[in-house]
Structure formats: structure tokens, C-alpha cells
Amino acid sequence: MAATVKVMRRPDPGETSYIRATLKGMALTFKHMVNPDKVTLQYPEEQPDLSPRWRGTHRMEVHADGRPKCVACGLCPTICPANCIRLVGGEDDQGNRYPIVYEIDEFRCIFCGMCQEVCPVEAIHVGVHFENAEYTRDRFVYDLDRLMEQDHPTTLLWDPSDPRSE
């Protein structure tokens, strides 16, 4: 793309001044001063409207009997670009695979949402959530129990046939 140059017009003689321009500016700022529509969000009391596609900390979907939906297929640690998922799978008597260890390091996670996209059983999700403060760093490695406890809404996946989620 060619670079474009915006030519600013020099003000004509007689257009410029200090005092009158200052007063004009003060009128403008006064209008904003008395304007009751402020943009401030009084955060802890008022919560921001997050997009349904907001990608925040993860949650693990759970079966009705309390088992995680994860089948330990290993796709999410494979696809994860930040390499933040640790999965050790196991198998029970019926031959069902389940995760023995499932940890996500939320510090390393870049919240790309690929784990959710790749999951064949829709077990792991990124969520619509951002309040993650903790007192120690090790609290940011979420284990399986913690992931299953999360109850915030899950992120809506981007649908190529409906790119604006309409």
C-alpha cells in the first residue's frame, strides 16, 4: 500500500489567537465537565460486559456423576502453543481412558483457546472470566479438581459460517 501524506492546512491570517482560542477550549472542557455521561466503570460494584467469546481461565466439564468429561486423548497438550497443559492419562477396568493428572499453568497459558477447539468431547473450555488474583505463584497451576470446580460460563467458539455470532 502506498504511503499517504495528510497535508494540514495552515490557518489563515486572522484565524489564530491565544486568548480567544483558550476561551473556546475552556468552553469545550466545561461541556465535558458537566456532562453526566462518564466512562468510568465503578469496578467491584459494576462488572464489565464481557464478550461471549472472551477467553479467560479454563474450566473442565463434568459428567452427571462427577467424573471429568476428559478422555485423556492428549490432543490439548499437543496443540497447546504455550505448552502449559500437563496430562497423564489412565485407563479403568472397562477400558475408559481418564486423566490421572491434568494441570494447566495459567501463567504460561496465552488464552488462545485451541485446547477448547481441539477437544473431541468438549471437556476443556476457556471461560468468560478474568478475576484470577492469588497470593502465591503456585496457586496459578490449576489441577483437575480446581478446573472442575470452576463455574463461570464457557467461551463461545468462533464459528466460521457465522463469523459475527449473529
Partner 1 sequence: MNDLSLTAFVITSSIKVLTVFSVLLASVALMTLVERRLAGFIQDRLGPNRVGPFGILQPAADGIKNILKEETMPGTANRFFFVLAPALAIVPGVMTFAVVPFAAPLPTPWGTVGMVIADIPIGILYILALSSLGVYGLFLAGWASNNKYAFLGGLRSASQMVSYEVALGLSIIPVLMLAGNVTLTEIIWQQQQLGFWYILPLSLAFILFVISAFAETNRLPFDLPEAESELVTGYHTEYSGMKFSMFFIAEYSHILTASALMATLFLGGWSIPFWSGDHLFWHDGMLISGFTAAGEPMAAQGAWWTTLLTFLSFAVKTAFFIGVFMWVRWTLPRFRYDQVMHLGWKVMLPVALAYVMLVAATILVLDQVGVEGFLFGAILTAVSAACTGVFVFVVDSDRLISGSSVSGTDRAVRSPVRQVRRPALEPRAGSGVNP
Site for partner 1 in 97-116 (CB under 8 A): none
CB 121 within 8 A of CB 71: yes
Determine if 4 is a binding residue for partner 1 (CB under 8 A): no
Number of H helices, E strands in the chain: 4, 5
Determine if 7 is a binding residue for partner 1 (CB under 8 A): yes
Q: Where are the beta strands (DSSP E) in 40-131?
A: 56-60, 85-91, 97-105, 124-127
Determine if 48 is a binding residue for partner 1 (CB under 8 A): no
Decide whether 21 or 121 has the Cβ nearer to partner 1: 21
Contact pattern for partner 1 over residues 8 through 37, marking x by CB under 8 A: -xxxxxxxxxxxx-x--xx-xxx-xxxx-x
Site size toward partner 1 (CB under 8 A) is 28
Decide whether 17 or 83 has the Cβ nearer to partner 1: 17
Round to whole Å and give the CA distance between 69 and 105.
20
H or E element, residue 142:
strand 141-142
Residue 8: CB minimum distance to partner 1, A = 9
Among 1, 5, 6, 40, binds partner 1 (CB under 8 A): 40
Q: List Cβ neighbours of 20 (8 Å cut-off, separation of 6 or more).
A: none
Rounded to a whole number of angstroms, the CA Rg of the chain reads 26
Residue 132: CB minimum distance to partner 1, A = 22
Amino acid at 24: K
Determine if 39 is a binding residue for partner 1 (CB under 8 A): yes
Residues in contact with partner 1 by CB under 8 A are 7, 9-20, 22, 25-26, 28-30, 32-35, 37-40, 42
